[in-house]
Amino acid sequence: MKSKLYLEFIHSKACLITGTTPVDAHHSKAIIRTGVRPPDYFCVPLERKLHLYDLHESNESEFWQRHDIDILETVIQLNIEFIEKYGRDKGYASMFKTLRKSAGFNQYAHDKVDELERHLFSV
């Protein structure tokens, strides 16, 4: 699921780790393990060197652990911030369907997505 506006939002943020700009929009595969590129809504801002050389040359889950980042919580918070700023994007409904079908999706992730869904429909 693509969202040009969400990607622009991510590019306007500072890197999660270094706090620097500009950033790349990293599509986190640590949340959904389907073998396909994750939706744009799973992007997080990362400084290019970290993105291309540190993260992509290692195990993504270990990368987030090494930097003490809960990637799912981070993605949820970025989406909440995006929704509060721009409103609901039409791609969210199909994203939830994809998430719930993901083989790597556990109860913690279901709970977090429920949190995002509740926020989406309360805005």
DSSP readout, 74-113? HHHHHHHHHHHHH---TTHHHHHHHHHH-TT--HHHHHHH
**Chain segment 29-46, per-residue pLDDT in tens:** 776 665 667 788 889 999
pTM of the predicted model, to two decimals? 0.79
**Chain segment 64-120, per-residue pLDDT in tens:** 889 999 888 898 889 889 988 988 777 766 666 666 666 456 777 777 777 777 776
For the chain, domain boundaries? 4-122
Distance of alpha carbon 113 from alpha carbon 111, whole angstroms: 5
User: 51 with 62: CB under 8 angstroms?
Assistant: no
